[in-house]
Amino acid sequence: MIITTTEAGHGPAIVLLHGFPLDQSMWHAQRSEIGKHYRVITPDLSGHGQTPLGDQPLTVDRMADDVVELLDHLQIEGSVVIGGLSMGGYVALSIVARYPNRVRALLLINTRAGADVPDTARIREELARVVEQAKSTSIVVHTMLPRLFAPETFQTQPELVASMRKVMTESDPVGVAATSRALATRTDRVPDLAKIKIPTLVIAGSNDQLIPLAESEAMAVAIPGSDLVVIPDSGHLSPLENPDATNAAISAFLGRLA
Ligand code: MLT
């Protein structure tokens, strides 16, 4: 199954993978700005946005396979820059571990390499069950939305919060339940970090309520030669909450690759 994608611009390709339970719309500011100099490819991962869940059981590694299949379909044969936010970062780490020849450089945005601890995995299973029973994602909106943004963003950018609320509310409950289980069973990629030999930028939101800054710092230390940039005035969704600073960090990183 070829996943649905949106893209903008021409030039070297950069693939940006969205978080859970969101879709490609979270990258609109990167498509318009980074897309001035690069080909920005922003798929909807399986079970999200316009991409159906498909028949195969959903895993983070399958999402990674889907992205590589998309690159093949787009006839992009060489290596590309892959970036991912949170869940998208889990997928990016799976791609770099399993398809190292396809990745020229890596952007890890508000994400982590470790697998779920048992308590988190249990909560995800519970969430999946409630979503399935209710045939609604409202529990996910209720539990996740307050933590997706920096506390100040709720006051300063209410329209942004409303637009992500809409995406989450309209997400397919079957896709959300399957993804919740896929995240709970993902591979621990911490042992792979020291093996990453490509240019890597770790981006952290200054006020991310889901990924503590210390975790991003530790990830950057574990990846040889990587850089860390902290985006001010930002929670978990830096590309949306502070697009100017996020785009500046991404552009500077891409510029150094040239
Ligand atoms: C995300 O933003 O993708 C989620 O916070 C990932 C997760 O729940 O682990």
Contact 20, 172 (CB under 8 A): no
* pLDDT score of 258: 82
- The Å distance, Cα 258 to ligand 1 centre, comes to 31
**Using alpha carbons only, what angle is made at residue 175 by residues 96 and 68, rounded to the nearest 5 degrees?**
25
Residues 152, 234: Cα–Cα separation, whole Å: 9
Per the listing, tokens 């980074």 go with 34
Does the C-beta of 210 come closer than 6 Å to ligand 1? yes
Pocket mutation for ligand 1, best pick of 210, 211, 215, 234 (most atoms within 8 Å of C-beta)? 210
Q: Which of 73, 69, 95, 70 is nearest to 82 (CA)?
A: 95
Q: Which of 73, 12, 60, 61 is nearest to 199 (CA)?
A: 12
- The Å distance, Cα 47 to ligand 1 centre, comes to 15
Contact 139, 225 (CB under 8 A): no
All structural domains of the chain with their residue ranges: 5-114+189-257
* pLDDT score of 1: 83
Please report, in tens digits, the pLDDT of each residue of the chain (258 residues total): 899 999 999 999 999 999 999 999 999 999 999 999 999 999 999 999 999 999 889 999 999 999 999 999 999 989 999 999 999 999 999 999 999 999 999 999 999 999 999 999 999 999 999 999 999 999 999 999 999 999 999 999 999 999 999 999 999 999 999 999 999 999 999 999 999 999 999 999 999 999 999 999 999 999 999 999 999 999 999 999 999 999 999 999 999 998
For 203, residues 6+ apart whose C-beta sits below 8 A from its C-beta are 107, 108, 109, 110, 216, 228, 229, 230, 231, 238, 246, 249, 250
* pLDDT score of 205: 98
**Using alpha carbons only, what angle is made at residue 128 by residues 149 and 210, rounded to the nearest 5 degrees?**
25
- Bridge-based pairing of strands 39-43 and 5-8 is antiparallel
CA 157 to chain centre: 21
Question: Would you identify the CATH topology of the domain 5-114+189-257?
Answer: Rossmann fold (3.40.50)
Q: List the beta bridge partners of residue 228.
A: 202
* 113 DSSP assignment: S
Global confidence as pTM: 0.98
Does the C-beta of 183 come closer than 6 Å to ligand 1? yes
- The Å distance, Cα 46 to ligand 1 centre, comes to 15
Q: List the beta bridge partners of residue 14.
A: 40, 81
The minimum-distance atom of ligand 1 relative to the CA of 86 is 3
